[in-house]
Structure 1
Amino acid sequence: MDKLVIALMIGVAFVAFAAAVIYGAMRLEHEVPNEDREFLDPLPKVLRMQWPLIRLVDYHLCQLIPKRMLAGPTETLRLAGLLYLMSPTQFIALCLVSLCAFTGITMIVLSWANLFNWLLVVGVASLGYIYPRIWLKESLKKRQKLIVKALPTYLDFLTMSVEAGLNMAGAISQAVAKGPSGPLKNEFAFVLRDLRSGLTRADALRRMDQRVRIPQISSFISAVIQAERMGASLGVTFRAQAEQRRIERFQIAEKLAMEAPVKLIFPLVAFIFPVTFLVLMFPIAIKFMQSGVRF
């Protein structure tokens, strides 16, 4: 009877604790102000499911982080083109939510398998905190590759527009209207917006350089600014830059092609060669065994 009462009390206490946690979470969520995402980028499906919890952590915890500690995430988000997707404090909240999720899932799986290990839990928790940063760096690399890939095409549009008699703003407007979609199109649209707001061409292009921080873009902007200062033809400058960017892209492709055989050595030695030798030696071994020869 005493055991039944104790079990009943434990069950009631657990239910009361769960109810208190749920009630507290609902109260905390109710305090979070609504977010207007009309002029922000749409959230991916995975982030959309976690977003209420991320905003809860952001509002109650991450807003207390000093601004000097947010300089790194702010710069990386800006270079990756994700500053219109989430704020730096929301990114820190995403890291904390990912840490808790990885830790909780790992503890449940290890407890269920009766293989609980604190060292493994700490390792997976660290991975959970680092994983959003890995995703951010991969997004940055992907964006930079897309910009470098589309740059010669946009330089061709600028060359044709300038040689047809348009000024710099008109050429950029035609490139944005006719060019392929992607991050470079958005960057030229920002340049066009800066030009229409009254900034000089040099300042608008320098702001673009600060937003992307890519050597090819920096070289292109330096050449354009230098051509304007020296009074040289922009059409000739754009054509030379387009040709140079194509040569660089071809050289990168050659480099990747030459690296491919080196990268294939490990899969060949570790996986393909053993299987090939097994297939070739198996019939020979069977014949030796049938003839009475023992290994």
Structure 2
Amino acid sequence: MELLISLGMAVSLFLLIYLLLAKKEEAPVTAGKRLHALEKRSSAKDKLLDDLDKPFYQRVLLPLLASTGEKLAGLTPKALQRAVETRLVMAGSTLGTNEFLFIWVLVFILFPVGVVSGMQLAHLPLATVWKAGLICLLFGAMLPFVWLDKKVQARKNRIQKDLPGTLDLLTVSVEAGLGFDGALAKLAEKMKGPLVDEFGRVLKEMRMGVARRQAIGDMGVRCDVPDLSLFTAAIIQADHLGVSIGNVLRVQAVSMRDRRRQRTEEKAMKAPVKMLIPLVFFIFPFLFIIILGPAVLQLMKTTFIK
């Protein structure tokens, strides 16, 4: 009997110690879980605050554009999607293909609806309203693409304008002892603009393992600027033949400045021809009126007096 009591007390003591140790071991796990839960709640709160700090168009409009544009992309031909994507890249726009397609559909619908509604409120004839609606429908379909083309052309003009100065900085950097990659990094540090952004993209692609020829060739195709295409072709040829990059950059910088001077002289030569139309139709008639008007009035007065 005493043996059973002793055995029972030993088992009870063992279970008590085991439970205490188990509870003691579970305490850090529970604390860790609580800390993890607090961190998760804090991160969710911080994310919510960050989302609230963003502008309305970033919190609501851009996600709406993205989700709706994805649905429209399934109904759009692949060729049109590729063409829009290419033009957006050439324009340097932050819009994606889906967002642009959604805006295009929105303008295509809302522009004629707004014009037709306004004309109906003005109580215009129904035939006139329908004709204006069809014309506005056509303009609504063309308007986003016209805006995109203008943006592409403006970016091309900016790249062509910035090219000589950019090449000068690249030439100075390379001749000072920097490599081509270091010169591109220095360029991205010192200058701004679409051409510098393109060179920065070339630098990132080269750091990711893309060959220099391919990265520079892709930039020439992407920008579609004649002067820049000549420069990229010269760099690719120099890299293929092992010619010094510094000499090529120096020659290209001088060539680009000469080409810019020639374009300026060409525009100056075209200016007198362009001035003929306003001179003939808007300036000469008023000069004739001012100069010959008093003589004609005097002649008419003399004739009527006789």
* TM-score bucket of the superposed structures, by smaller chain: 0.7 to 0.9
Aligned counterparts of 2:219 and 2:303: Cα–Cα separation in 1: 78
**Per-residue deviation, 1:51:** 6.6
**Per-residue deviation, 1:242:** 0.4
Aligned counterparts of 2:289 and 2:114: Cα–Cα separation in 1: 40
**Per-residue deviation, 1:119:** 2.5
**Per-residue deviation, 1:49:** 11
Q: Deviations over 1:177-225 (max 9, x none)?
A: 122x110110111111112112222122122123212221121112112
Aligned partner letter, 1:91: F
Q: Which moved more, 1:155-164 or 1:258-267?
A: 258-267
**Is 1:86 aligned to residue 98 of structure 2?**
no
Counterparts of 1:54-65 in structure 2, within 5 Å, are 58=69, 60-65=71-76
Q: Considering only CA atoms, is the larger Rg found in Structure 1 or Structure 2? A: 2
Q: Which of 79, 90, 100 is the equivalent residue of 1:68? A: 79
State the partner residue of 2:265: 254
**Is 1:114 aligned to residue 120 of structure 2?**
no
Aligned counterparts of 1:256 and 1:185: Cα–Cα separation in 2: 26
Aligned counterparts of 1:216 and 1:108: Cα–Cα separation in 2: 49
Q: Deviations over 1:250-288 (max 9, x none)?
A: 111111112222222222222222233333343334334
Instruction: Check 1:275–1:252 CA distance in 2 against 1; reply closer, same or farther (3 A cut).
Output: same
The DSSP-based 3-state class of the residue aligned with 1:198 is coil
Aligned counterparts of 1:113 and 1:263: Cα–Cα separation in 2: 44
Counterparts of 1:17-96 in structure 2, within 5 Å, are 58=69, 60-82=71-93, 85-96=94-105
Aligned partner letter, 1:157: L
State the partner residue of 2:148: 136
The DSSP-based 3-state class of the residue aligned with 1:64 is coil
Aligned counterparts of 2:248 and 2:210: Cα–Cα separation in 1: 22
State the partner residue of 1:244: 255
Q: Which of 156, 165, 173 is the equivalent residue of 2:177? A: 165
Q: How many residues align?
A: 249
Q: Which of 100, 121, 124 is the equivalent residue of 2:109? A: 100
TM-score computed with the length of structure 1 as normaliser: 0.74
Which structure shows the higher helix fraction? 2
Aligned counterparts of 1:109 and 1:53: Cα–Cα separation in 2: 28
**Per-residue deviation, 1:113:** 5.8
State the partner residue of 2:137: 125
Gaps of 5+ in 1: 1-37
Instruction: Check 1:53–1:163 CA distance in 2 against 1; reply closer, same or farther (3 A cut).
Output: closer
Counterparts of 1:224-243 in structure 2, within 5 Å, are 224-243=235-254
**Per-residue deviation, 1:289:** 4.2
C-alpha contact (below 8 Å) 1:73/1:88 kept by paired residues: yes
Q: Deviations over 1:128-171 (max 9, x none)?
A: 22111111111111101111111111111111111111111111
C-alpha contact (below 8 Å) 1:98/1:128 kept by paired residues: yes
Counterparts of 1:168-207 in structure 2, within 5 Å, are 168-179=180-191, 181-207=192-218
Aligned counterparts of 1:262 and 1:109: Cα–Cα separation in 2: 43
C-alpha contact (below 8 Å) 1:100/1:128 kept by paired residues: yes
State the partner residue of 1:16: none
State the partner residue of 1:3: none
Aligned partner letter, 2:153: K
Q: Deviations over 1:39-97 (max 9, x none)?
A: xxx99x9xx99878856753554442232331211111111112xx2222322222222
C-alpha contact (below 8 Å) 2:65/2:98 kept by paired residues: no
Aligned counterparts of 1:107 and 1:199: Cα–Cα separation in 2: 53
TM-score computed with the length of structure 2 as normaliser: 0.72
C-alpha contact (below 8 Å) 1:54/1:93 kept by paired residues: yes
Gaps of 5+ in 2: 1-49
Aligned partner letter, 1:171: A
Aligned counterparts of 1:231 and 1:55: Cα–Cα separation in 2: 46
Q: Give % identity.
A: 33
Pairwise CA RMSD of aligned residues?
Answer: 3.0
Aligned counterparts of 1:269 and 1:128: Cα–Cα separation in 2: 37
